[in-house]
């Protein structure tokens, strides 16, 4: 019995994610070592590309969609889906860029930037509210179709605000301060950790507490398991769902802030297309089933790290082009949603066979 318990613990999704992470790490490390050996054999200087410090330093760009993934896990946990997060992020960035110019003329740059950031978050919340409102009022259409529609609308709004222009903030002093805040790094115990990772871990901790230690989280999973039962047991399903959509919009706005502040320092109407795909893929790989009612934030954090390692490893160590990396992301998304079902089938089949055997014995 004890062995069986250990086996079931081993088969838990988070454990499998850790195993996957270790396997990926070993493969990339071995490939990297062989590359180094080849370089030394040719008489060139060896440069270690793939190691812990490098990975930690270069984590920044892979963390952008992780904020969205946290919001998306709430939505997936309720059995809904939100495809418009990429467009929400682009719209919040566009609003931030549009209001920053007039604000700067009126007041000091620092204050203007702070207000612009506030506008960005407010836009995200407003978009999330619209999504949630439509989803809860129009139950005949699935959340997917509604958010596909609002995505078109938000993206159109970006074009209305910016047209085809690109707003640039390369030599703006206040913006440089923002960049330092987002993409700098702090040294902890001799390692330089990107600040973005710390922001992300803080946010993830908040989500973990909410989802796994409060009644709010219990309600969310109850809604995800069975919406009707949840309603009859006294949960205000509609308003709760609306709140979750607002939170998802805010996380999208947060990741757009990081995108503008740290990675590109530009605002464009077609920025961040396809980020919703990454967000969904990270959340699904993290163990949030798309049917709702299941999931763990620890898994999401692990899968963010796995995605970072995978993209970095495939991109720099194996030197594959970007499209191949995208191929891998698509495959991981499909595989990670098929695998739990197949495992369940297997365990069901084993149980049935055992019961048959027991019936035969008696």
Partner 1 sequence: MKRDISEKTRQKDSFSLLSYVIEHREIPLLGVLAVLLAGVSIAVPGYFTGNYMNILKNCSMNLVLASGMLCVLLIGSIDISVAAVLELAAAIAGVLMRDGKIHTMIGMFAVGIGVGALIGFINGSIMSFGRVLPIIVTLGMTYLARALIPMDFILGMNKIARIDLTEYFKEFILHEYLGIPVIVYIAGAVAILMGLFLRYTRVGRSIYATGSNEEAARMRGVKVKWIKVLAHVICGALAGMAGIMRLGYYNAIEKGAANGQEMYVIAACVLGGVSVMGGYGKITGVVIGALMIATIDSAIPQLFMNATMMKEFFKGILILAAILLNVLMQRAANKRNLKGRDI
The footprint of partner 1 (CB under 8 A) covers 81, 134, 138, 140-142, 144-145, 148-157, 159-160, 163-164, 273-274, 277, 280-281, 284, 290-291, 321, 323-324, 326-327, 329-331, 333-334, 337-338, 341-342
In the complex, what is the shortest distance from the CB of residue 15 to partner 1, in angstroms, rounded to a whole number?
Answer: 22
Task: For residues 348 and 343, give the distance between their C-alpha atoms in angstroms, rounded to a whole number.
Answer: 9
The helices-and-strands tally (H runs, E runs) of the chain is: 15, 4
- Give the DSSP letter of residue 319: -
**Smaller CB separation from partner 1, 91 or 257:** 91
Nearer to partner 1, 52 or 153 (CB): 153
Cα distance between residue 360 and residue 291, in whole Å: 37
* Smallest distance, partner 1 to C-beta of residue 232, A: 22
Phi, psi values for residue 269, rounded to 5°: -70, -30
Q: How far is the CB of 32 from partner 1 (least distance, A)?
A: 24
CA nearest neighbour of 72 among 244, 202, 308: 244
Name residues whose C-beta falls within 8 Å of residue 130's C-beta, 6 or more positions apart in sequence. 150
Q: Contact 265/179 with Cβ under 8 angstroms?
A: yes
Cβ at position 83, least distance to partner 1 in Å: 8
Min CB(313)–partner 1 separation in Å: 17
Q: Which is nearer to partner 1, 102 or 274 (CB)?
A: 274
Min separation Cβ 76 and partner 1, Å: 10
Q: What is the DSSP string of 84-153?
A: THHHHHHHHHHHHHHHHHHHHHHS-HHHHHHHHHHHHHHHHHHHHHHHHHHHHH-TTS-HHHHHHHHHHH
Measured from the CB atom, is 101 or 330 closer to partner 1? 330
The residue among 83 and 254 lying less far from partner 1, judged by its C-beta, is 83
* Shortest Å, Cβ 155 to partner 1: 7
In 3D space, the residue among 287, 254, 250 whose CA is nearest the CA of residue 15 turns out to be 287
Of 262 and 336, the one with the shorter C-beta distance to partner 1 is: 336
Between 113 and 130, whose beta carbon lies closer to partner 1? 130
């Amino acid at each position: 019995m004890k062995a069986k318990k250990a086996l079931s613990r081993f088969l838990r999704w988070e454990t499998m994610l850790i195993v996957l992470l270790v396997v990926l790490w070993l493969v990339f490390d071995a490939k990297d070592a062989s590359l180094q050996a080849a370089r030394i054999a040719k008489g060139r200087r060896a440069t270690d590309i793939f190691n812990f410090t490098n990975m930690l330093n270069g984590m920044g760009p892979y963390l952008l969609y992780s904020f969205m993934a946290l919001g998306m896990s709430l939505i997936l946990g309720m059995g809904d889906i939100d495809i418009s997060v990429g467009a929400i992020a682009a719209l919040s960035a566009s609003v931030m860029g549009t209001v920053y110019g007039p604000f700067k003329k009126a007041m000091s740059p620092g204050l203007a930037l702070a207000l612009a950031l506030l506008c960005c978050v407010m836009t995200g919340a407003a978009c999330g509210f619209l999504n949630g409102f439509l989803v809860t009022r129009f139950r005949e259409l699935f959340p997917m179709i509604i958010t596909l529609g609002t995505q078109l609308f938000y993206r159109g709004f970006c074009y209305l605000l910016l047209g085809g222009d690109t707003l640039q903030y390369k030599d703006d002093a206040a913006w440089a301060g923002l960049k330092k805040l987002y993409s700098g790094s702090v040294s902890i115990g001799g390692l330089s950790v990107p600040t973005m990772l710390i922001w992300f871990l803080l946010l993830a901790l908040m989500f973990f507490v909410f989802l796994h230690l409060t009644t709010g989280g219990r309600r969310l999973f109850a809604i995800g398991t069975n919406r009707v039962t949840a309603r009859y047991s006294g949960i205000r399903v509609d308003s709760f769902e609306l709140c979750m959509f607002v939170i998802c919009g805010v996380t999208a706005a947060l990741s757009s802030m990081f995108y503008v502040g740290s990675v590109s320092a530009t605002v464009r109407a077609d920025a961040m297309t396809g980020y919703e795909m990454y967000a969904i893929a990270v959340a699904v790989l993290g163990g949030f089933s798309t049917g709702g009612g299941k999931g763990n934030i620890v898994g999401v954090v692990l899968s963010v790290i796995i995605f970072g390692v995978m993209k970095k490893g495939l991109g720099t160590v194996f030197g594959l082009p970007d499209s191949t990396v995208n191929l891998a992301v698509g495959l991981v998304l499909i595989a990670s949603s098929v695998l739990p079902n197949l495992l369940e089938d297997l365990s069901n089949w084993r149980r049935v066979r055992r019961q048959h055997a027991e019936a035969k014995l008696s």
